[in-house]
Amino acid sequence: MTQHDTNMPDDQQALSQDGWSYGQSLDYLYGRINYERLSKPSPGNPMKLNRMHALLAAMGDPQASLKIVHIGGTKGKGSTASMVAAIATQAGQRCGLYTSPHLESLEERFRVDGQPATQSQLISLIQSVRQAAETIRRQGEGEATFFELTTAMAIEHFRRDGCEVAVLEVGLGGRLDCTNICSPEVTAITSIGLDHQNLLGDTVEEIAAEKAGIIKPGVPVVSGVRDPAAAAVIQQIADERQAPLLQIDRDYHVQRESVAGNNASRFDFLPSESTPLPLKRRTAWPLALAGIHQARNAAVALAITDCWNLKTQSLQWPEQACREALATLSVPGRIEFFPGEPLVILDTAHNRDSVEALADVLAERFESQNVVAVFGTSHDKDASEMLTILARNVKQIVLTRYRTNPRWYPPQDLAAIASQVAGQSWEVVENSHDALQVARHRAGPAGVVVVCGSFFLAAELRRSLVERS
């Protein structure tokens, strides 16, 4: 086991051609600059695309062999990317999915037809990008970062595995994100909210401009953005690039029909009478993921599907494949239910908008129950806003921290914030696993425990929840 991931190699003797083990390969990768793990935010935006282009060129430009869907947004981009990839796989096409960060192991970031890369594949990919990174370093491009290397690994993995389709989730922002070296068939922006302001800007308009940087000339773009100011920026950039734009609540609408259980519902996808591109009407479609926000994500995925089918006549995604994919998809860490007494809900919500989406589900389904939250977050997040929302929707909050990343927010400081916003004291338990046990006890057998506040907190606790359930 390495310090970086929680799973052991599937082949303890697996070595690269250079004799590197799995652990040594990961050590190399995690030794690069990694903005996911910086304890202090970087001033300005340090990202550039010239080195990413050079890195892929040194590997033979593997992205050229792929038909790509490129998805960005403040929240919802990971779920939407998973939906689109599931649709492509259900349609019988070999599909790669690149998402970040991971919950338990790095291999999760590189999926083909839903299956993560093996450790042996990972070792080989790391060696390939290491050689390419050394080549471009000698050419004067500088040291490749962790995310540049993992993005190149994903694209190369999909090429090697014979993928016809690749779905790339933007890591951060869009305009200067490493994934923005692709020539996609369709792009999408799921939502715009305040997050990563130190890198992307202090207003939704500034953030929208960064995220709309993935829009390509003439390439259809689907927007799930509901903030009017942010939507106006996306419209402006789409117009400048002559990219047909399908905008939620204008060109297509979403209605949820019913709640069919803890984590299922039905929804309608309703196109307007006049749209820039033709859209299909769908009614009473089942959706396995909980929440109105996931119905909106599914609507973005369906609009992407309609654009895809218009552009790629040889790789169609039939309606039945779409319906079955959305009805059966599960995405770890996205309002994920772990049955028991009490029920535990794990969610990666880590900003105001995603915590509001979680709170909507709690209010809709568990309003009469004793809901206790386990909350820990990163110091660059707006803890006050998240705790304000949580305090209105749960009976108690247990404050904690994760230990797998140096960006954690001190729980005692969270307690001071909670006292201000909620007018009462919440319990502090430094160890996240102990905090979960305390929350179970406070909720009681008939209650509900919800874990939220950080992707890293969800990752730290998920394995024990899976084992227990």
DSSP letters for 183-218: --SEEEE----S--HHHH-SSHHHHHHHHGGG--TT
Q: Could you tell me the pTM of the whole model?
A: 0.92
Supply φ then ψ for residue 282, to 5 degrees: -130, 135
Q: Tell me the pairing of strands 115-116 and 186-189.
A: unpaired
Both tokens of 362, joined, read 């709690």
pLDDT (average), residues 146-153: 97
Supply φ then ψ for residue 212, to 5 degrees: -75, -5
Whether the CB-CB separation of 119 and 22 falls below 8 Å is answered with yes
pLDDT of residue 208 exceeding 70, the answer is: yes
pLDDT (average), residues 197-214: 85
pLDDT of residue 354 exceeding 90, the answer is: yes
What per-residue confidence (pLDDT) applies to 24?
93
pLDDT of residue 98 exceeding 50, the answer is: yes
Both tokens of 298, joined, read 């599914």
What per-residue confidence (pLDDT) applies to 405?
85
Q: pLDDT tier at 288 (50, 70, 90 boundaries)?
A: very high
What residues pair up with 167 in beta bridges, in sequence order? 69, 97
* Whole-angstrom distance, CA of residue 94 vs CA of residue 291: 29
Mean pLDDT of the chain: 91
Q: Tell me the pairing of strands 67-72 and 186-189.
A: parallel
What per-residue confidence (pLDDT) applies to 423?
79
Write out pLDDT tens, residues 29-82: 999 876 655 544 444 445 689 999 999 999 999 999 999 999 999 999 999 999
pLDDT of residue 390 exceeding 90, the answer is: yes
Residue bearing the bigger pLDDT, 2 or 385: 385
pLDDT of residue 257 exceeding 80, the answer is: no
What per-residue confidence (pLDDT) applies to 10?
46
Q: pLDDT tier at 421 (50, 70, 90 boundaries)?
A: confident
pLDDT of residue 466 exceeding 90, the answer is: yes
pLDDT of residue 244 exceeding 80, the answer is: yes
* Whole-angstrom distance, CA of residue 132 vs CA of residue 217: 30
What per-residue confidence (pLDDT) applies to 5?
57
Supply φ then ψ for residue 127, to 5 degrees: -65, -40
**N-terminal to C-terminal alpha carbon distance within the chain:** 23
Q: pLDDT tier at 124 (50, 70, 90 boundaries)?
A: very high
What per-residue confidence (pLDDT) applies to 404?
85
Q: pLDDT tier at 172 (50, 70, 90 boundaries)?
A: confident
What per-residue confidence (pLDDT) applies to 344?
97
Q: pLDDT tier at 256 (50, 70, 90 boundaries)?
A: confident
pLDDT (average), residues 307-311: 97
pLDDT (average), residues 218-242: 97
Minimal CA–CA distance to 375: which of 356, 400, 405, 358?
Answer: 400
Q: Which of 11-15, 70-74, 155-159, 287-291 has the lowest mean pLDDT?
A: 11-15
Percent of the chain with pLDDT over 90: 81
Q: Tell me the pairing of strands 265-271 and 282-287.
A: antiparallel
* Whole-angstrom distance, CA of residue 448 vs CA of residue 372: 6
pLDDT (average), residues 142-162: 96
Both tokens of 402, joined, read 């994760």
pLDDT of residue 374 exceeding 70, the answer is: yes
